A and B are shown apart, each in its own frame.
Chain A
Amino acid sequence: MTSLLAQIDSLGRFVTKNVEYTIRVLLMVYLSLRATVLDKAQGFRQIVGVISAQIYFTGWQALPLISVLALGVGAVMILQSLSNLSLLGGTQMIGNFLIVMILREAGPLMVALVVIARSGTAVASEVGNMRANREIEALESMGINPMSFIVFPRVVGGIISVLALAFYFNLIALIGGFLVTRFMQDMPMAFYTDSLMKAVAKEDALIFLLKNGFSGMIIFVVSCYQGLSVKRSPHEVPQVTTQAVVNSIIFVVVFNLIVSALFYLNQLRSLGVV
């Protein structure tokens, strides 16, 4: 009996802790938006400067890694799906299969994981070090709101970068992957592209924007939040960086799962299955 109560108690603590954390992170999104709207001093040029730096570090510098990943994932998926679909006699379904696997599922997750590993850690440790070195307090003392000066441009730059990287990932995985595997399969390019075009639906654009846009927001908001949670000492910086990675992965995976589940439930509903 005691053990059951203890388990319920620990479950309650876990849920409460996570709900509280989510509320705090969402509150930071609101505060950074509010600060940016109300900040009369911060000029458009200043914000654009930080946003473009963030796009350079998060988006541009990640292109080589994303290219290798996209080519690998695309090629593997094409080869695997072709070998299995040929056995079943459904080669014309290649487009549908790849759109579902790459554009809707693997793309958003792979890009989010790369961005978390490269930029989420960088932002969390940068902001954490700023906190430990009292730079955040210094900004406040100069009348510069860290929410509009530090958080907002990083989040916006992060969202734009993740969307652009995801578009690039899909393009390289679907087209580059096909070209890489050309010497192993004899499918005509026109047949392949036609199958892809037929498979793409307008819901895919919605899923693309939802999954990648929100992943970008989640990664950079969580990383900034963790960085700002450093109290005083530099020894906290690696701890908050690790926490930023763990929390970003959990939030991104759960969010992707929810979007996929809702989308497929909606599809089943429209088919009259549920």
Chain B
Amino acid sequence: MKIESLKFEGVSFTHDGQDPIVQNVDFDFPMNEILWVKAEEGAGKSSLLQILAGLQIPQSGKYLINGENVVEMSFEEFLPYRLEIGYSFDYGGLINNRSLHDNLMLPLLYHKVVSPEEAKLRVDAMFKEFGVEKFAHERPAHVPGRVRKLACLMRSLVMRPQMLLLDDPSVGLGQDSIYSFVDHIHRFRKDGYFKHIFVSSYDEKFMNHFDYQIIHLDEGQLYYQAVDPEKRVVHL
């Protein structure tokens, strides 16, 4: 299922007893871009990404993918879109009773995206590319935090989805891992994967590896800021 448009129509979302994350928002998300989601601490960047991933359902309004309202969809109806969305958590999210290798294999084998042999080749290659192959058969609790974070990122990439939602992807990663990750993204974008990327981050250094546009989340509203890569001041 090709993702061609993402749109909010009057979307409101609030966690129980807290200020609204988004309030009556109408927003047409730019497509085929790397979008840097910026906001104050605790303003709800993660929640916004979770809404986009279909993990949180807005209390009111419509979240439209290709004109279809996700809010009214069942788990099964949303599944074709979900398989085209990779989501990486800011912390946690790995299945603890499986090895890192099995964590990456799980979506591939469960949805029979590729044959088991091909899935193994793909996952082994990713571990090698990111330089963490010696931890592949360990469980999440037995590996350093950096490797856990990296495995969570790798799992969001392994299905080669059209849309990537990355929640604080650079936190806890070493410089080498960041270079491998950025290189992987650029390489696969050239091949037509990871077309629409949403990154929630405070790390300007990390974001400067990409040609990004900005979405500001401020007081429950979304604002788009176009960034001309030619005129952008890069702080390294």
The answer to the question of B228 belonging to the interface, with a C-beta cut-off of 8 Å to chain A, is no
| A35: nearest chain-B partner, CB-CB | B75
The answer to the question of B107 belonging to the interface, with a C-beta cut-off of 8 Å to chain A, is yes
Contacts of A143 in B (CB 8 A): 79, 82-83, 107, 110-111
Q: Write out, one digit per residue, whether chain B residues 65-96 have a CB within 8 A of any chain A CB (1) or not (0).
A: 00000000001100100110101010111111
For chain B, the bracket of interface size reads 20 to 34
Known contacts: A41-B111, A41-B112. The answer to whether A141 contacts B92 by CB under 8 A is no
- Alpha-carbon gap, A39 to B76, bound state (A): 7
The answer to the question of A23 belonging to the interface, with a C-beta cut-off of 8 Å to chain B, is no
Known contacts: A38-B76, A144-B107, A145-B75. The answer to whether A139 contacts B95 by CB under 8 A is yes
The answer to the question of B106 belonging to the interface, with a C-beta cut-off of 8 Å to chain A, is yes
- Alpha-carbon gap, A165 to B199, bound state (A): 52
Known contacts: A143-B79, A143-B82. The answer to whether A137 contacts B55 by CB under 8 A is yes
Known contacts: A134-B93, A143-B79. The answer to whether A46 contacts B110 by CB under 8 A is yes
Known contacts: A141-B53, A142-B106, A144-B107. The answer to whether A135 contacts B76 by CB under 8 A is no
Least Cβ–Cβ distance between B40 and chain A, in angstroms: 21
| A147: nearest chain-B partner, CB-CB | B75
- Alpha-carbon gap, A43 to B211, bound state (A): 42
Q: Write out, one digit per residue, whether chain A residues 137-174 have a CB within 8 A of any chain B CB (1) or not (0).
A: 11111111100000000000000000000000000000
- The reply to whether B82 and A138 contact each other, CB–CB distance below 8 Å, is no
Contacts of A139 in B (CB 8 A): 95
The answer to the question of A42 belonging to the interface, with a C-beta cut-off of 8 Å to chain B, is yes
Contacts of A134 in B (CB 8 A): 89, 91-93
- The reply to whether B110 and A144 contact each other, CB–CB distance below 8 Å, is yes
Least Cβ–Cβ distance between A8 and chain B, in angstroms: 29
Contacts of B155 in A (CB 8 A): 142
Cβ-neighbour of B110 out of A140, A141, A142 (below 8 A): A142
Interface positions, chain A 37-61, Cβ under 8 Å from B, are: 38-39, 41-42, 46
- Alpha-carbon gap, A134 to B85, bound state (A): 17
| A41: nearest chain-B partner, CB-CB | B111
Cβ-neighbour of A138 out of B54, B94, B110, B111 (below 8 A): B94
Least Cβ–Cβ distance between B43 and chain A, in angstroms: 18
Using CB atoms and an 8 Å cutoff, list the residues of chain A in contact with chain B.
35, 38-39, 41-42, 46, 129-130, 133-135, 137-145
A-B contact pairs, 13 of them (CB 8 A): A35-B75, A133-B93, A133-B94, A137-B93, A138-B89, A140-B55, A140-B82, A141-B82, A141-B85, A142-B106, A142-B107, A142-B159, A144-B106
Instruction: Give me the 9 closest cross-chain CB pairs, A-B, nearest first.
Output: A134-B92, A141-B87, A142-B107, A138-B93, A143-B82, A133-B92, A134-B93, A41-B111, A38-B76
